[in-house]
Amino acid sequence: MSKRQLNCAGDGDGAGGKRSRPNKKHLYLALDDCHKGFSIHRIDPDTLQDTADLQEPMVGFPEPPILRLAAQTVNCAMKFAALGSSIFIATNPLCGQTPTLVYDTQTTALTIGPRLPAPLLAAFDISVAAGDKLYGMSCFYSNVMQQHSFEGLTRAPETGDKQLSCSCSCSSLPRPSMEDWSWTTVPSPPPFGEGDWITSYAVHPDGCTIFMSAHDNDRGSLARGTYSFDTQRCKWRWHGDWVLPFHGQGYFDDELDAWVGLCEDGHVCSCQVPSRSGMSDVQPQWKMVGDKLFRKVPQSQQLPAGPSATLAYMGDNRFCLVECVMREGLEFPDAFGDHGGCMLQITMFSLKYSHKGELQTKTCRTTSHVVSKHLLQVEPVVFWM
- Whether residue 216 lies inside any domain: the answer is no
Supply the Cα-derived Rg of the chain in whole angstroms. Answer: 21
- Whether residue 25 lies inside any domain: the answer is yes
Q: Starting at the earlier edge strand, list the strands of the sheet with 99-104.
A: 79-83, 86-90, 99-104, 109-115
- Whether residue 83 lies inside any domain: the answer is yes
- Whether residue 310 lies inside any domain: the answer is no
Cα 57 to chain centroid distance, Å, stands at 25
pLDDT for the residue numbered 252? 98
Assign 52 to helix, strand or coil: helix
Query: What DSSP assignment string belongs to 333-349?
Result: TTT-EEEEEEEEEEEEE
- Whether residue 273 lies inside any domain: the answer is no
Contact 198, 212 (CB under 8 A): yes
Q: According to the 3-state scheme, what is the secondary structure of 97-139?
A: CCEEEEEECCCCEEEEEEECCHHHCCCCCEEEEECCEEEEECC
Give the domain range for residue 23. Answer: 1-43+63-138+176-190
* Terminal Cα-to-Cα distance of the chain (whole angstroms): 28
Which pLDDT tens digit goes with each residue over 218-256?
655 455 899 999 999 999 999 999 999 999 999 999 999
pLDDT for the residue numbered 158? 61
- Whether residue 369 lies inside any domain: the answer is no
Residue 329 makes CB contacts below 8 A (sequence gap 6+) with: none
Rounded average pLDDT over 70-88: 91
DSSP summary character for residue 275:
P
- Whether residue 277 lies inside any domain: the answer is no
pLDDT for the residue numbered 16? 41
- Whether residue 20 lies inside any domain: the answer is yes
* Number of domains composing the chain: 1
Enter the pTM of the model: 0.87
